């Protein structure tokens, strides 16, 4: 559609395309006069640089990719928000890919991206990701920053939260609230965050001398109905827990529904803590005690680290790793005295 290019500007002003190009990026080789003229004409004709021509030539796409398991989760939504904010502000574009917890998707996406479509990647691995060769290979070509769910044996920036401590703290909180039979609900045994949280959980169980047979880890799945059944069975079993520590936000609904259906009172009969960033935690009945992760901050930090590396043309940026602490928000779902709100 006869787009206005650098060539057209050059013809109109009787200069070379080189001059236009340099004028547009404010090169010192160009006089102020010509710069003015170029800028003016560019504005007049509404010149917009062709991103692909530029990317091809400079081998820089000004684009980053974000790989997350899903977006229908407050944590990832907020993190994406943080990432996009920093990226846009620095003139970068953000490609979004959802792996839906499928390792195959992760592999396929990374492979395609290594063609040069992006300058770098920010990712949180899938729950299935138990081998890391594909990520290793990829990271030799392009900078990768991990957030939350990291790839352990890779020497790059990892933006995480204090999962171990939170696992410990949440468990300790449950114990101090009187729980003796605590179940940790997990979703994967390969995820870094899961093992961290579990280790914190286990340590608390030991430190406080709880019966290790009463305190176990139960693995949930991706399907809400399945999880609902699982939790119901758990709560109907012979050794019913009096404390639940859920490691993913989406289990909240299933826990509340299951307990409600079985007429098990939270927090009287079972106390609940959830790793969750849901705004609605505060208006649940009872309001939910949560570990809230600094999702937005983590996203911003990850993006900042990546863009810094891009600026410096460096691949490895392990020193940019950061642990941003989460917060334990104590609410009614773990209160000792019975109350509704």
Tell me the C-alpha to C-alpha distance, in Å, between residue 245 and each of 13, 288, 309, 312, 315.
69, 11, 37, 42, 37
Nearest to 13 by CA among 25, 27, 24: 24
Distance CA 97, CA 83 (A): 13
Q: Are 315 and 139 in contact (CB under 8 A)?
A: yes
141 binds, among its own copies, DNA, none (CB under 5 to 8 A by kind): its own copies
Report in angstroms how near the CB of residue 145 gets to DNA at its nearest.
25
For 32-47, b/e burial (b = at least 16 CB within 10 A) is eebbebbeebbeeeeb
Q: How many CB atoms lie within 10 A of CB 105?
A: 17
Single out the segment in contact with DNA by CB under 7 A; choices: 3-11, 76-84, 157-165, 178-186. 3-11
Report in angstroms how near the CB of residue 116 gets to DNA at its nearest.
7
6 binds, among its own copies, DNA, none (CB under 5 to 8 A by kind): DNA
Strand order in the sheet with 216-219: 216-219, 182-186, 243-246, 271-275, 289-292, 327-329
Report in angstroms how near the CB of residue 296 gets to its own copies at its nearest.
9
Single out the segment in contact with DNA by CB under 7 A; choices: 51-59, 122-130, 179-187, 317-325. 51-59
| 313 scored as a contact of DNA (CB under 7 A) | no
Q: Are 272 and 334 in contact (CB under 8 A)?
A: yes
Interface pick for DNA out of 26, 43, 46, 59 (rule CB under 7 A): 59
Q: Are 326 and 161 in contact (CB under 8 A)?
A: yes
Distance CA 20, CA 134 (A): 42
Question: Which CB sits closer to its own copies, 184 or 284?
Answer: 284
Question: Which CB sits closer to DNA, 33 or 340?
Answer: 33
Tell me the C-alpha to C-alpha distance, in Å, between residue 165 and each of 76, 88, 174, 241.
21, 33, 14, 22
Nearest to 92 by CA among 63, 132, 113: 63
Which letter does DSSP use for residue 262 in this model? T
**Which residues form the interface with its own copies (CB under 8 A)?**
1, 3, 48-53, 55-56, 61, 63, 66, 70-72, 74, 77-78, 80-81, 84-85, 88, 93-98, 105, 111-112, 114-117, 141, 250, 252-253, 256-257, 260, 278-280, 282-286, 340-341
Distance CA 334, CA 151 (A): 33
Question: Which CB sits closer to DNA, 22 or 158?
Answer: 22
214 binds, among DNA, its own copies, none (CB under 5 to 8 A by kind): none
Report in angstroms how near the CB of residue 251 gets to its own copies at its nearest.
11
Report in angstroms how near the CB of residue 118 gets to DNA at its nearest.
15
Report in angstroms how near the CB of residue 176 gets to its own copies at its nearest.
25
| 5 scored as a contact of DNA (CB under 7 A) | yes
Site string for DNA, 9-48 (x = CB under 7 A): -----xxxxxxxxx-xx--xxxx-xx------------xx
Q: Count of residues binding DNA (CB under 7 A)?
A: 31
Q: Tokens representing 66?
A: 């974000």
Interface contacts to DNA, rule CB under 7 A: 3, 5-7, 14-22, 24-25, 28-31, 33-34, 47-50, 53-54, 56-59
């Amino acid at each position: 559609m006869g787009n206005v290019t650098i060539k057209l500007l050059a013809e109109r002003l009787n200069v070379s395309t080189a001059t236009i190009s340099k004028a547009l990026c404010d090169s010192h080789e160009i006089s102020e006069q010509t710069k003015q003229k170029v800028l003016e004409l560019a504005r007049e004709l509404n010149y917009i640089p062709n991103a692909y021509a530029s990317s091809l030539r400079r081998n820089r796409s000004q684009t980053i990719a974000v790989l997350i398991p899903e977006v229908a989760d407050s944590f990832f939504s907020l993190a994406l928000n943080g990432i996009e904010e920093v990226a846009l502000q620095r003139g970068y574009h953000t490609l979004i890919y959802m792996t839906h917890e499928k390792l195959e998707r992760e592999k396929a996406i990374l492979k395609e991206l290594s063609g040069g479509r992006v300058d770098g990647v920010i990712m949180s691995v899938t729950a299935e990701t138990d081998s890391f060769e594909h990520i290793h290979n990829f990271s030799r070509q392009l900078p990768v920053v991990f957030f939350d769910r990291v790839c352990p044996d890779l020497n790059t920036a990892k933006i995480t939260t204090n999962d171990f401590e939170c696992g410990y703290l949440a468990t300790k909180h449950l114990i101090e609230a009187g729980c003796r039979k605590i179940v940790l609900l997990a979703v994967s045994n390969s995820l870094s965050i899961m093992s961290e949280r579990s280790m914190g959980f286990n340590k608390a169980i030991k430190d406080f001398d709880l019966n290790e047979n009463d305190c176990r880890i139960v693995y949930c799945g991706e399907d809400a109905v399945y999880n609902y059944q699982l939790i119901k069975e758990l709560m109907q079993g012979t050794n019913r827990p009096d404390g639940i520590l859920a490691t993913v936000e989406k289990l909240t609904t299933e826990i509340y529904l299951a307990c409600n259906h079985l007429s098990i009172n939270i927090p009287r009969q079972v106390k609940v803590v959830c790793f969750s960033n849901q705004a609605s935690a505060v208006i649940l009945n009872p309001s939910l005690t949560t570990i809230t992760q600094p999702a937005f901050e983590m996203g911003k930090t990850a993006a900042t680290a990546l863009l810094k590396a891009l600026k410096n043309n460096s691949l490895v940026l392990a020193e940019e790793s950061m642990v941003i602490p989460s917060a334990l928000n104590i609410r009614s779902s773990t209160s000792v005295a019975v109350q509704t709100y």
